[in-house]
Amino acid sequence: MARALTVALVLTFAFAAPASAAPELSKLGDFNQPTYATSAPDDGGRVYVTEKPGVVRIAGQDAPFLDLTADTLSTDTERGLLSIAFAPDYATSGRFYVYLTAQPAGELQIREYRRSAGNPYVADPSTGRTLVAIPHAEAPNHNGGQLQFGPDGKLYAGTGDGGGGNDQFHHSQDPGSLLGKLLTIDTAQGGATVVSRGLRNPWRFSFDRATGQLVIGDVGEGQIEEIDVGLAGNYGWPCKEGTRDNPSAFGCPGPPSAAPFLEQTHANGFCSVVGGYVVRDPGLPTLNGRYLYGDYCNAPLRSVDLSNAASDAPVGLSVGGLSSFGQDACGRILAVSLNGPVYRMTDGALSACPRSAASPPGGAADTAACKLSARVTGLNSVRRRHRLTVALRANEACSATASARVRGVASFKSTTRRLSASRRATLTLRLTARGQRAVRRALRRHRTLRVELRVRTTDAAGNRGTFSRAAIIRR
């Protein structure tokens, strides 16, 4: 009894929430019409900000990270450099992507660039290549503008319906058009695939970093702003504005559509919803697990539990001219005002977030390979489930490729994963169909089989390492 009480007390202190008061905004700097802010993977200490005229800046750094002003059409209200996304393997590949409206006619372009070989905090503009180019000359508004990597590792983009009013150019429901859509981008060969249609202007969307759930803030027409939760084939625009039928829309009533999770009306002061993120930051305990969002015309920020629309409520903070939310590598929330300021949101002590292992120019060279700890599970169910699971933890950010073999019998399919510093990552290695049969036959002849695991790592400085471990499969 005494021991149980002691354990309970230890757990209580171990998992107690950090001290908090109320959420507050801490300004990181002022920028020229900022549209988005984020950080590179495994480098949450640096915040990258896109400016509408066409420049990417790092907060606190004078020199631009990337200057695309000569290529960017930003004279119209909704046009410009709209967002940036870093590849999950950015620490090793240096690849990142930007979404802009291009000169001279506002074509929507998604481009890939790489950071400079000589300075990791400056991009190399000569590496640029256009992956997707979508004509958008009919009207200057409804450009979409968000890029996000999904939990499946694919790059997603949201495009507006081509502008004007009431989907007057009939793009949103047209399966042959890339406008008014949620897309996946082929980062290897270029090109886009339509995932969802029926969007008006999905200015900002995100994936919950804990669950992978998609949430879209779709800007409304004249009455309703909407939040859509979950992936759907068709979100309904222009056949519906929110849950309201739109009988004047071309070609409607249309196909079945997904109903919005939450609506906000223009009668209540909303005009242009700005989708945000589900908060997963230990430094924001009062908002943990709630979806944070706002509106360009309605300064008070709001949050809602995505399992209960009735829980929608003000946060107690306001950002005038809200243009975006952002999230750094450790899930800390950023808020961006088109008026200039970029803020980080806190509630009590700022949660820790390691910087990248990459050293800036002039810094000490990193010559040590990534160090790993590993735990292998599922060994006794390999015969039945045809897979085993490896939990890895690294001392720094690195790329890890895991492979395994049942010695003398069969091999598992190798898999690659980005590892964040000090955070556990789980990889699943599967047997081929031929390997499954071979293991079953071998276990009929032998009581035990030896499994050999090998993990090869590469860190941001290019250092390579190998980790090996042996385990036993029992009949």
Query: 398-442: per-residue pLDDT in tens?
Result: 778 888 888 888 888 888 877 776 778 888 888 888 888 888 888
Strands of the sheet containing 372-377, edge to edge, are 372-377, 387-394, 425-430
pLDDT band at 467 (very low <50, low <70, confident <90, very high): confident
- Residue 109, classed as helix, strand or coil, is strand
Query: 185-204: per-residue pLDDT in tens?
Result: 999 999 999 999 999 999 99
Query: 66-115: per-residue pLDDT in tens?
Result: 999 999 999 999 999 999 999 999 999 999 999 999 999 999 999 999 99
**Which of 288-297, 358-367, 386-395 comes out lowest in average pLDDT?**
358-367
For the entire predicted model, the pTM comes to: 0.73
Cα separation, 302 vs 273, in Å, equals 11
Query: 200-226: per-residue pLDDT in tens?
Result: 999 999 999 999 999 999 999 999 999
pLDDT band at 394 (very low <50, low <70, confident <90, very high): confident
What architecture does CATH give domain 22-346?
6 Propeller (2.120)
> Are the CB atoms for 235 and 245 separated by under 8 Å?
no
- Supply the DSSP symbol for 399: E
What are the backbone angles phi and psi of residue 442, rounded to the nearest 5°? -65, -35
The CATH number fitting domain 372-474, selected from 1.20.1090.10, 3.30.420.40, 3.40.50.720, 2.60.40.2550: 2.60.40.2550
Residues in the chain: 475
pLDDT score at 123: 97
- Residue 2, classed as helix, strand or coil, is helix
Domain with CATH 2.60.40.2550 in the chain: 372-474
Q: Where are the beta strands (DSSP E) in 308-397?
A: 308-318, 322-327, 333-337, 341-346, 372-377, 387-394
Q: Mean pLDDT for the chain? A: 88
Query: 220-239: per-residue pLDDT in tens?
Result: 999 999 999 999 999 999 99
Domain with CATH 2.120.10.30 in the chain: 22-346
Of 176, 175, 195, which is closest to residue 184 (Cα–Cα)?
195
Beta bridge partners of 341: 30
> Are the CB atoms for 451 and 405 separated by under 8 Å?
yes
